[in-house]
Structure 1
Amino acid sequence: METEGKDIVRIPLSVCNMKDRIYWSKSCTGEYTVKSGYKLAKSIRKEVAYDRSNAESSSNRKCSAQSWSFLCCGEHPETVEHLLFFCDHAKAIWDVAPVSWEGLVNHRDKFWHWWEELKDAVHKEKGQERIALTINLLWQIWKSRNARQFEAKARDPMTVVQKAVGEWREYQDAQLKEGEPIRGSRVGKEEQSEWKEPREAWVKINSDAAVHQNKDRAGWGLVARSWQKELVGAWAVPGISCSNPKMEEALALRAAMLVAKRQGWRRVEFETDCKQVIDRINSGENDVDIATVLSDIEKLKSSFYECCFSFTRRRSNSVSHQVAKFATNLKETAEWKSDFPVWLLELVQADYLALIVLKDEDFNRIPERIGDRRENPYRKNADFDDPKLVQSLKCISAY
């Protein structure tokens, strides 16, 4: 019941008084097609046949259980996380590997979350090289697993690591011999990526979402800047639930549109690093997973004289990403409109220079929650004493 309750809370409600609609969940557009219906009927038929065969032969069930136990090392189900991190063989490989990610240990229970955090390291010293080596390690762990399961060949952990390092070096050498810059390295101006200002008289709002599935918490970061590169507003919005990343990204973008509407901005560019959401908006195609939010976004477009939606890479969306991570520790929305905290100004300045220079000790200065004025020196920068503002922030947080 508790799980069902959380799933119900995660269903987004429309902010534009849209009527409920029925969607066919077996197609990405939400519309029924003969092809999707046929696939569903075929899968149901297979499931029924499988259940019948299991009911007829208990020996087959035992054999199946033994086979599954072998694939799972006899201890745990073979999930992606178990295969790459928690299996004894994988642990032995990571122990002798020349690269480690101690700061990501707590994220290993969700591979996609671990991967998202790993990508942020690209801005650190030799970050791209470390990530490339890590990818080779993951690949060799997978190949080692296949050799063990299908060929009965056990590979020594050190041998696996040496193979990964060797292939990584071969790739590096091949890139240098061809005279090409290594992908992701900061060689030449063309390799740099930076935030781009919007058109004249426009405002750009960057949005991002941070998700902590293990804590069941999410946060949205919204950062607004003018065509003159001036920071004109920032919002850290804690989510009321924790959905999948695509849904949270869509909700963050919708929140950005609500903020722009309340601020009276009429020419706005909305930018995020979730390509799936941007592609759906610009193509007009539906997505059953985020259909309600997409409908709201379509309707909110009429609130502006002009607006557009653009995709950017994570390294060009770093400010809103950090604000989103900050929001996961909040209980209420934080807003800055004129006086901004030092850590936020530093991030914005670094964004202009295309150099992320915020160190761990700098980020630790960010308050973990919005408390009273004595506990939180930055709370005075947000005008929480204005009743209308408090109400509007609650509205944003509610969605």
Structure 2
Amino acid sequence: MRIKHKHKLFLWKSLHQVLPGREAIVRRTGKGDIICKQCGETNETVEHIFFQCSKAKMKWNMAPLQWDGLNEYTSDFRKWWSMLMEVKARKDGMEHIALAVDIFWHIWKAKNEAKFEGKDRHPMEVVRKAVDDWEEYHKCQQAEQRMSISETETANEQEDRREPEGNMLIIRVNVGQHIEGQNMGIGITTTNALNQIGVAWMLKERSTGSAVLDNLVAIQLALCKLKERGWQNIQIQTSCKQILNMIICQVPSNMRIAAHLEYVNDLSSMFRTCSFDSQPGNGSTNTLRYKLSKQAMHIYFDEEFFDPQCLSTFL
């Protein structure tokens, strides 16, 4: 399914009932209030956040998608999603499913904005933002598909997907800037035990304005990329020592950071070996990952490099 990597992660969390709603937090920590603060009616479960809360219902009433035939499954999100998958074969079925994920994401985001920032967005504003984001990503995907890829490059890509046996892959992540609401570029490089550069990525996301949160988001996206390629033995290196201490000690400074740390923990558990360390030469502006992160702020969609020679222009 062609959706953003952060949406894939969000969907995985939702389907596995580990999205950090109030009920999940109380179940995990034994502390806090389990009741939804938006409506004050019942427990804040994934199903309540997405379907049953009065705030969510208002948004769905204004959405361009209506899934009336699935109403009987709204008490079990996994069952609801399973039934939704049956529309894949229909005309534009996958596009409609992707839009539904965008709406879920913005319902979740609006809930957190109300909780953490005191913002109460109008339901139509939330839905419009979800549709705009979906249309923008869909157009980028169409543009990407129109780019020709030679059979040789495709064969090289398949070959590069195979992880060298017994090797620990080193993944270094760099984030370009931390200005809230503006683009932040993310540069990701992979090297093998011989320090040879393999695959690299340039990604673009919206900055949260926090260096800590931005770096956590970048690590999450890197883990998603690595999981897609089927690699199992990895070490993530970050230039943010505060992040490294939080991951190792599991002592977040607030609830937002705690939620992102949970994402990282859940993703890292999906690998055979996944460790975290600090990057050598922290702060250097002469590294490939730094240059990729700067360039990534100006791209229209994510870029992936398989041939080290393609990266020579950045060195």
The interval holding the TM-score normalised by the smaller chain is: 0.3 to 0.5
TM-score (norm 2): 0.46
| TM, length-normalised to structure 1 | 0.37
Structure number with greater Rg is: 1
